[in-house]
Amino acid sequence: MTVNSRTPFQLFKYTVYVLLAMNIYWFYDEESAAATLQFVNGVGFADLIEAYSATIDTAAWVVLLLMFELETYVLDDRHFTKRVTWTLHGLRAICYGFIVYAFYGYIANLAFLYEARVFTGLDDICTLPPAAWSWATTLDEYVRITAANCASFSNAAVFYQFNDMQAVVDAPGLRDIRYLGWVDVINSGVWLLVVLVLEIDVRLQEHGLYDGFALKASTVAKFVLYSLLLLAAIYWGFKGDFVDFWDAFLWLVAFVFIELNVFEWHQEEKEAAAEARAISE
């Protein structure tokens, strides 16, 4: 009996997939709140990717994950008709388009963070009109500044305002937010490389070429890439918010399942080839 055939394992795997799907809502809720401040005149079509980059990215990744699950585990070789194959490839291509689009959104968000400028004439945020301005607590999260809480945010003498937003932050806070913006960009780029390697793995496996140097090169590349993703998750755990950390952790777990699917598929193909050779001899 293989690991993937055990009911508890399968239940755990699909629970992780459901939790990832739920993260679409959590990111949407978080980004919607930030968008009301960043886009005071409303979010136009051209602004969607900058306002909802994490939501769009997560939704596309969930669909892509299901495509990989179908191809590497659920569907048997006999199910891969021309129509099914083209459908899977077409859906994955659409997902990749949105993922690349989201990658651009992360870059646009990072550029926006570097547009923050010194708020001239402001040396005490308690002098700001109550409830009219917000304090940036972390990336895409803001708290209304009131007379009751203004003194608790910072005692700095210099503050920064985000472009076209009634939101401010001090220098250490802006630095941390920019670092989180960089982690978003790097994390998104590394995931693109992960699926590129995984796509190559699947194509090689389909043609019986996933062995030898190709297998070793893939293993080394994925070790480096998954290590970077783990570091990003750890960084979010310390500097970001729980949703970012939780999402990063779940994605790592989910792709461990996909890697196990590919490994089991590879082993089954090797066993089938060995049996065929034994029969022919």
Per-residue pLDDT of the chain (281 residues; tens, 9 = 90+): 344 456 787 888 889 999 999 999 989 998 898 888 888 778 887 788 888 988 999 999 999 888 888 877 777 767 668 888 888 888 888 999 999 999 999 999 999 999 999 999 999 999 998 888 999 999 888 999 999 999 999 989 999 999 888 999 999 999 999 999 999 999 999 999 998 888 888 778 777 777 788 888 988 999 999 999 999 999 998 887 788 888 889 999 888 888 887 777 667 666 665 666 666 66
| Cα separation, 26 vs 54, whole angstroms | 10
Give the C-alpha distances (Å, rounded to integers) separating 163 from 35, 99, 117, 119.
13, 26, 7, 10
**Every domain of the chain and the residues it spans:** 3-115+174-280, 117-173
pLDDT at site 2: 45
Rg value, the chain, Cα: 23
Is 62 buried (19+), middle (13-18) or exposed (0-12) by CB count in 10 A? buried
Extended beta strands in the chain, E state: 117-118, 134-138, 141-144, 159-161, 167-170
| pLDDT for 220 | 93
| Distance from the Cα of residue 163 to its chain's centroid | 26
- Helix (H) / strand (E) element for 66: namely helix 53-69
Query: What crossing angle do the helices spanning 242-280 and 212-239 adopt, rounded to 10°?
Result: 160
Residue-level pLDDT at 232: 92
Residue 117 backbone zone (phi > 0: left; psi -120 to 50: alpha; other: beta): beta
Across 26-175, where does the E strand assignment appear?
117-118, 134-138, 141-144, 159-161, 167-170
Quote the pLDDT of residue 209: 75
What are the two backbone dihedrals, phi and then psi, of residue 149, each rounded to the nearest 5 degrees? -115, -5
pLDDT of residue 47: 81
Q: What is the pTM of this model?
A: 0.79
Predicted confidence at residue 4, as pLDDT, reads: 45
Give the pLDDT score at 178: 96
Res 135: pLDDT: 95
